């Protein structure tokens, strides 16, 4: 049997390679930071991590995790409801709710699990989920696992959302679901308009703050802060794997009855191990830091403004963004790949994205800014972009 299957897989993999979407992994041999070392020995400036606040190797967090590792050892070896709940998990859940201005929270091994386990326990075939077309894969998978009727609206298109809400009026409950920041363009969900339509058509709202928590809003509280609607959405999901330290862990936070039901019925929570105590301890320290100072957010916002204004002044075509994601539009897939390769030669690590990750003829280089970047590093990247842009005849 395996002979046939092996042949089948080999062929499929070959097709992935031919289509140009085969993913090779670059191997880091240093901590995750603004400057990284790869296994070829090359040191490069990193503009493609989700390390928005530079917390992936923050000394305070390493100290909190190390101390906890010594005191509480390595793992929990249990799901939460058997013997896998520690005081640290409870404290972290409280801290997450405090950060977002919500009532309660529940931890998962990852946000992929939070999204995978949020719909099925709450909604049935009598209900409707109305989802943005560009929502993250984990939301799409979570919706698939739920029996609710599915409605889809074009990205951030409020006319289309209104139409879908009208079509869903005969359902018992309606839930509108959106990413906070859409990761390919960096645009932010129009939360005020979504909430207005939700009120008009009697729907609840869920937002995934994975790319926005810690990042957008004056104090980094995410899109509900940016759009002035803290405490107004029923469900927020997010990750501890991006701005919040980049280790592992996800969460759902919101109305307390919703969280209570998830604790009873959410399958990735009930049937998967609880996060290591050291990760919880570092998470607690991280949320304390978020309360103590706004320095990292201020630096991230300043870095983002600086980079984008210099790139625009140089003549690059930048997608409108309200986050720390900056899409440098090149449109042509081959060109985007070549541009990224040449930037790596210049010591700048970025990724070119093309179809099917973004629409056809919308190829781009995605730059992710971080509070860890120093101005000289931003300047080095901007100079490299300009140099390569001239070599490839994108800039005059």
Q: Which residues bind ligand PLP (CB under 6 A)?
A: 110-112, 115, 136, 138, 179, 183, 208, 210-211, 239, 241, 250
Rounded CA-CA distance 225/188 in Å is 12
Minimum distance between the CB of residue 284 and ligand PLP, rounded to whole angstroms?
18
Specify the residue, 290 or 384, whose C-beta has the smaller distance to ligand PLP: 290
Q: Is 17 exposed, middle or buried (0-12, 13-18, 19+ CB in 10 A)?
A: exposed
Minimum distance between the CB of residue 115 and ligand PLP, rounded to whole angstroms?
6
Which of 183, 210, 212, 274 is the catalytic position? 183
Which of 95, 211, 299, 373 is the catalytic position? 211
Q: Which two tokens stand for residue 31?
A: 């901590």
Specify the residue, 123 or 243, whose C-beta has the smaller distance to ligand PLP: 243
Strands (DSSP E) found in 325-377: 325-331, 348-349, 351-353, 363-368
Residues 6+ apart with CB under 8 A from 224: 100, 101, 191, 207, 209, 217, 230, 231, 232, 233, 236
Minimum distance between the CB of residue 325 and ligand PLP, rounded to whole angstroms?
10
Sign of the alpha-carbon torsion through 263, 265, 268, 271: positive
**Number of Cβ within a 10 Å radius of residue 140:** 15
Minimum distance between the CB of residue 249 and ligand PLP, rounded to whole angstroms?
7
Residue with tokens 């190797």: 57
Specify the residue, 179 or 185, whose C-beta has the smaller distance to ligand PLP: 179
Specify the residue, 54 or 337, whose C-beta has the smaller distance to ligand PLP: 54
Could you report how far apart the first and last alpha carbons of the chain are, in Å? 58
Q: Which of 321, 275, 346, 243 is nearest to 75 (CA)?
A: 275
Minimum distance between the CB of residue 112 and ligand PLP, rounded to whole angstroms?
3
Specify the residue, 211 or 364, whose C-beta has the smaller distance to ligand PLP: 211
DSSP-derived letter for residue 28 is B
Establish whether 396 is a catalytic residue: no
Rg of the Cα trace of the chain?
Answer: 22
Establish whether 7 is a catalytic residue: no
Rounded CA-CA distance 165/183 in Å is 25
Which of 95, 136, 242, 301 is the catalytic position? 242
Rounded CA-CA distance 9/13 in Å is 6
Residue 338, classed as helix, strand or coil, is helix
Rounded CA-CA distance 233/177 in Å is 10
Establish whether 86 is a catalytic residue: no
Specify the residue, 128 or 236, whose C-beta has the smaller distance to ligand PLP: 236
Specify the residue, 368 or 377, whose C-beta has the smaller distance to ligand PLP: 368
Minimum distance between the CB of residue 255 and ligand PLP, rounded to whole angstroms?
20
Minimum distance between the CB of residue 226 and ligand PLP, rounded to whole angstroms?
16
Catalytic residue ranges: 183, 211, 242
């Amino acid at each position: 049997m395996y002979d046939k299957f092996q042949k089948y897989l080999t062929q499929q993999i070959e097709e992935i390679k031919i289509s140009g979407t085969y993913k090779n992994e670059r191997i880091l041999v240093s901590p995750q930071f603004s400057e990284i070392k790869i296994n070829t020995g090359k040191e490069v400036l990193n503009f493609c991590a989700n390390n928005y606040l530079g917390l992936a190797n923050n000394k305070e967090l390493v100290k909190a995790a190390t101390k906890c590792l010594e005191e509480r050892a390595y793992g929990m070896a249990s799901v939460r409801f058997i013997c896998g709940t520690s005081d640290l998990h409870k404290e972290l859940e409280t801290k997450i709710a405090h950060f977002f201005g919500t009532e309660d929270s529940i931890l998962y091994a990852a946000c992929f699990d939070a999204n995978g386990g949020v719909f099925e326990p709450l909604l049935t075939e009598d209900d409707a989920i109305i989802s943005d077309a560009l929502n993250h894969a984990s939301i799409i998978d979570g919706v698939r696992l739920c029996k609710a009727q599915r409605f889809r609206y074009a990205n951030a298109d409020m006319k289309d959302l209104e139409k879908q809400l009208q079509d869903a009026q005969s359902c018992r409950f309606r839930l509108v679901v959106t990413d906070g920041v859409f990761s390919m363009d960096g645009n932010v969900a129009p939360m005020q308009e979504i909430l207005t339509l939700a009120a008009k058509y009697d729907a609840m709202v869920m937002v995934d703050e994975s790319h926005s928590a810690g990042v957008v809003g004056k104090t980094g509280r995410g899109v509900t802060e940016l759009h002035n609607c803290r405490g107004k959405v029923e469900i927020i999901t997010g990750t501890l794997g991006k701005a919040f330290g980049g280790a592992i862990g996800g969460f759902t936070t919101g109305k307390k009855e919703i969280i209570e039901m998830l604790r009873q019925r959410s399958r990735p929570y009930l049937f998967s191990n609880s996060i290591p105590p050291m990760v919880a301890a570092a998470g607690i320290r991280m949320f304390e830091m978020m309360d103590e100072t706004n320095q990292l957010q201020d630096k991230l916002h300043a870095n983002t403004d600086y980079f984008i204004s210099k790139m625009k002044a140089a003549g690059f075509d930048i997608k409108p963004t309200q986050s720390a994601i900056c899409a440098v539009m090149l449109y042509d897939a081959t060109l985007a790949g070549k541009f990224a390769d040449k930037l790596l030669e210049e010591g700048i690590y970025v990724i070119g994205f093309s179809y099917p990750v973004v629409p056809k003829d919308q190829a781009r280089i995605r730059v992710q800014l971080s509070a860890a970047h120093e101005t000289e590093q931003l300047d080095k990247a901007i100079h490299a972009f300009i140099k390569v842009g001239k070599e490839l005849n994108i800039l005059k």
